Amino acid sequence: MSTHSIAFIGTGVMGRSMAGHLQKAGHTLHVHNRTKAKAQTLLDAGATWHDAPGSAAAQADFVFTIVGFPRDVEETYFGPRGVLAHAKPGTVVVDMTTSSPTLARRIAEAAAAKGLLALDAPVTGGDVGAREARLAILVGGAEAAFARTRPLFELMGKNIALHGGPGAGQLCKLANQIAIASNMMAWCEALTFAKAADLDPTRVLESIGGGAAGSTAMNVLGPRALRGDFAPGFYVKHFIKDMKLALETAAELKLDLPGLVAAKKLYDEVAARGWEDCGTQALWRLYAERA
């Protein structure tokens, strides 16, 4: 595979590992993050620091972004020091943040007007999937842009699919988050029940996690929760953002999603207790407190 000059904007829990895989494959890396210290391992390995997204994008053949909220995506792309104002024609810009499908379409339209190619490619798999380069990457955009970018996606993930035009990747990711929302409630309720019935929740988890009830969320996050590890693989505050986006889109589609509504209400309570910077397994703390 030929090497490229790549801008990577957002080097937090997920982005740092993802950028690292691109760097280890021999690509030249230009990075920007709101907090420079979070990019230090990449800088130590030879990446070039930039004080603004646009400065990094101006040096790149491909620009990858994975930031926090839709407002951050908007500023990263449309701000005066942003990607769209400075990327050179022919560059492929790829937003991997879980964000608004409508915003993804706006970015694609604005990118095309400047001679750029745009993809929305949110990911799922959490911090472990990012570290082990086995993320699922859910892509929306033009087939030609997807084909050009796929070799780079393959350095970061294993399950990679184009779901349609601009915004389709974001829609697929929202479907993923809808499934996870009820799943998180399910394993928390199962283990709450087990504990109340004087069973050992860890042993119960080991038994049911390998059967039909098992899931990645249960088997990865359940053990963390039971040992009191609430460090973020994926932040509560970001999951609440995703559920809000999903509910807004569901309303546009005239859909009633009661599981998602219930999960959002519970996670709002988690955040209200000051746990929004914890991992999503902090939902267990709420169930344990109520029990």
Would you name the residues annotated as active-site residues?
173
Which 3-state string (H, E, C) describes 241-277? HHHHHHHHHHHHCCCCCHHHHHHHHHHHHHHHCCCCC
Which 3-state string (H, E, C) describes 178-211? HHHHHHHHHHHHHHHHHHHCCCCHHHHHHHHCCC
Contact in structure between 125 and 38 (CB atoms under 8 Å): no
User: What stretch of H or E contains 119?
Assistant: strand 117-120
